[in-house]
Structure 1
Amino acid sequence: MTKQLQDRVALVTGASRGIGYQIAKGLAAEGAHVIAVARTVGGLEELDDEIKALGGSATLVPLDLTDMGGIDRLGGAIHERWGKLDVLVANAGLLGVLAPIGHIEAKVFDKTMTVNVNATWRLIRTTDPLLRKSDAGRAIIMSSGAAHSAKAYWSLYAATKAACEALVKSWANETENLPLRVNSVNPGATRTAMRALAMPGEDAKSLPTPREVAAKIVPLAFADVTATGKLFDVRQDRFLDYRDPA
């Protein structure tokens, strides 16, 4: 490893499994101290063991992202301990339900919006001042191809990811003259529990693993990244410019 993130502080949500777990490991391997956030304590403890085995370090934060006050307090705690944040990876998310728009239960709609959109905005709000204090702040917000394809029955998940991309584009425009770089990521189909839930008949072995996908995402946290306000497509391994020219 090149230790591109030596002495950096990185916050990763949804870090107890899947892509978030592997991104957290990858950031730690590059030298970052990882603040790992998830609901599942067991998964966080396993991550901590693996990071320690790599010679890295982590702070575990068991937190349900429906707890908006908890997200606010997390920002305050980071400020108190480190005074800044170098990397934000907003990875946690829910699939919700795949169903006709008129059949989605209000409680499912509300919870999915809360975790995927409201919590992402709350993370942005609480970490923006901290990322601005870094000499090379990097924000990585997970999106999905669903935000653009908007297939039948995917309206809820698609809407949440489209909303996240809009937040990213506006945030990037607000900070384009700062060292902070803000981008979305479309990981593509990946061998995760969420994907299995969405596509139960799919051959999981035909999909890339979370580790393979994370390996493409971790470099977006490096100081040499200049792109901002763009969508990084993992399958194409490149940034796509979706900014409005106006």
Structure 2
Amino acid sequence: MSGRLEGKTALVTGASRGIGYQLAKQMAAEGAHVIALARTVGGLEELDDEIKSAGGSATLVPLDLTDMGGIDRLGGAIKQRWGSLDVMVANAGMLGVLSPIGHIEAKVFEKTMTVNVTATWRLIRSVDPLLRASKAGRAIVMSSGAAHSAKAYWSLYAATKAACEAMVRSWANETMNTPLKVNAVNPGATRTGMRAQAMPGEDPKSLPTAREVAAKILPLAFDDVTETGKIFDVRENRFLTYQDPA
């Protein structure tokens, strides 16, 4: 197998389904050894079977992202086995609840923040030295248009994604003079389980599939990416530049 990611190691969280699953498959097809992380073992095993049947390779990491110690240990394990990390895709996340802000239960708010924000920061902290050690480190953090639209009842999910984008921008500024490129992604409406949960009356056939969306995100992992600290809008198929405050 020979591809744009030949000889590289890529970590994908939320790899047992949806966009993460498809990205992991496509990165493996491009030659990367994929470290596939998710809490659903069955989905990971199915992914592993598909990757191997296509001639690729993967390492499965069954891990719940509320296990902060496990995230901390992940970086050390990757360093010991591979020495560095070339691509990180922080894809895992949860919707939480769509609700008036004053009606959100504290336990739901805290868990959603933990999975979407704290775990993402912990993952960044764990693998940042490994990405810096790569000749062309690439970090991709999944966001959402909700971070900018701030629609009614979406306060919790919107806040988590806005926080992730802020981390991406700061991280990109910190690594501006290194080969590491750090970007967020707005995948747009996609035919996934989370979308069905948020929009139960929507016709899923009207939406692009996770495979189609992943194919547009995949190039962000390639060596020729020069953008950093930006958000890639899948629907527009281009990078958007954040507007700095006056």
Give, as a single letter, the amino acid of the residue that structure 2 aligns with 1:155: S
Q: Secondary structure at the match of 1:89?
A: strand
- In the other structure, the counterpart of 1:66 is 66
Tell me, in whole angstroms, the C-alpha distance in 1 between the residues paired with 2:17 and 2:31.
Answer: 20
Q: Give the TM-score normalised by the residue count of structure 2.
A: 0.99
Describe the SS at the equivalent of 2:20. Answer: helix
Amino acid of the structure 2 residue aligned with 1:90: A
2:164 is equivalent to residue 164 of structure 1: yes
Report whether the alignment pairs 1:26 with 2:49. no
Instruction: Quote the residue 1:50 is aligned against.
Output: 50
Asked whether the 8 Å contact 1:71–1:126 carries over to 2, the reply is: yes
**Partner SS for 2:69:** helix
- Quick one: distance in 2 between partners of 1:222 and 1:142? 17
Matched to 2:22, the amino acid is: Q
Instruction: Tell me the distance in 2 between the aligned counterparts of 1:94 and 1:70.
Output: 19
* Rounded Cα–Cα distance in structure 1 between residues aligned with 2:224 and 2:81: 26
- Alignment match, 1:86: 86
2:153 is matched with which residue?
153
Amino acid paired to 1:13: T
Q: Corresponding residue for 1:214?
A: 214
Q: What's the counterpart of residue 193 of structure 2? A: 193
Normalization by structure 1: what TM-score? 0.99
Question: Hey, which bits of structure 1, 4+ residues long, moved more than 4 A?
Answer: none
CA offset at residue 13 of structure 1? Answer: 0.2
Residues 23-59 of structure 1 deviation map (CA, whole Å, 9 limit, x = unaligned): 0001000000000000000000000000001110000
State how far apart, in whole Å, the 2-side matches of 1:80 and 1:128 are. Answer: 15
RMSD of aligned C-alpha atoms? 1.0
Deviation at 1:2, TM superposition (A): 6.2
Distance 2:245 2:176 in 1: 15
Q: 1:7 to 1:20 in 2, by over 3 A?
A: same
The answer to whether the 8 Å contact 1:213/1:234 transfers is yes
1:68–1:119 Cα contact (<8 Å) kept: yes
CA distance in 2, matches of 1:56, 1:73: 25
Distance 2:227 2:49 in 1: 33
**How much does 1:243 deviate?**
5.0
Identity of aligned residues (%): 82
1:137-148 equivalences in 2 (<5 Å): 137-148=137-148
* CA deviations over 1:97-149 (Å, ceiling 9, x no partner): 00000000000000000000000000100110000000000000000000000
Where 1:135 maps in the other structure, the secondary structure is coil
- Give the length in aligned residue pairs: 246
CA contact (8 A) 1:230 1:243 kept: no
Deviation of 1:196 (Å): 0.3
| Residue 205 of structure 1 pairs with residue 205 of structure 2 | yes
State the match for 1:120 in structure 2.
120
State the match for 2:100 in structure 1.
Answer: 100
